[in-house]
Amino acid sequence: MALETYYPLIAVCSFLTWLLTFRLSREIFGRFSVTYRAMTREKQVSVDDNFKVILHSIPVTVLSWYTYLCTELPPEGVWYDSPWVRLEASIYLGYACTDLLLMALHTQLSTKLYIAHHCMSLYCSYIGMNYPCMAFYGNTTIMMELSNSSVFLRYLLVDFGYKNTKYYTWNGVVMLVTFFVARVVVTAIATFNLIKVMATQDDFYELPLQVSVCYVLGCLLFNSLNYYWFALMCQGFVKHFSGKKE
């Protein structure tokens, strides 16, 4: 019982941490950056949000990839509990709540696709935190955060005037590679294994409906968004190196 209470507590602490991080960004950039102080308040909010996303992506990326590479996490394990995955899901649940709250307070942060992504992320992280099953696939969801550091650093480089620099170019290369690895290759492997589990494991159909729906719909939505965003990245990458305007 104590362990089950531990995960919601982590989620609450995560929510407060990333809310504080969002506020801390304003203090840091406001004190040390003339460029930031010259921005409109709406632009500052975007910078603060990007700063929060980058800091969040670091610990959850380390945890999820450590879990994938260094712990036992069988793809065929339907009823398989991983405390590491449930810890990651707890952290991500709090983060998703923070993001949705900030999107409600600052509408410039929200788009229909982004809201859909975060609602599904909230649902998946809730299932991952509370149900001791499908740990491999819950972990895959968190592994996608590998690309977020470079994706959102790109926005910061643009906002602070570094777009036409080598830092922006190299970050773009890192962004493309990490996005391909974490959101195309890893999710393709997970999708193949999920289809295999659905075809061969009767245990999958004994899962609570909300759990099976979570992973099937999550797979469909995240794959669609990831491949769409990756196509846009490739298009932008070609335009950048061909000298055409993005």
Write down the domain spans for the chain.
2-242
Closest by Cα among 67, 90, 69 to 80 = 67
The pTM of the full predicted model, rounded to 2 decimals, is 0.90
Per the CB < 8 A criterion, the answer to whether 143 and 68 are in contact is yes
The pair of three-digit structure tokens given for residue 134, joined into one six-digit string: 């499908």
CB neighbourhood size of 28 (10 A): 12
Name the one residue in this structure whose structure tokens are 């712990």: 71
CA dist list (Å): 82 to 88, 131, 138, 168, 180 = 10, 10, 10, 38, 26
Please give the chain's pLDDT, 246 residues, in tens.
345 778 999 999 999 999 999 999 999 999 999 999 999 999 999 999 999 999 999 999 999 999 999 999 999 999 999 999 999 999 999 999 999 999 999 988 888 878 888 888 899 999 999 999 999 999 999 999 999 999 999 999 999 999 889 999 899 899 999 999 999 999 999 999 999 999 999 999 999 999 999 999 989 988 988 999 899 888 887 776 776 554
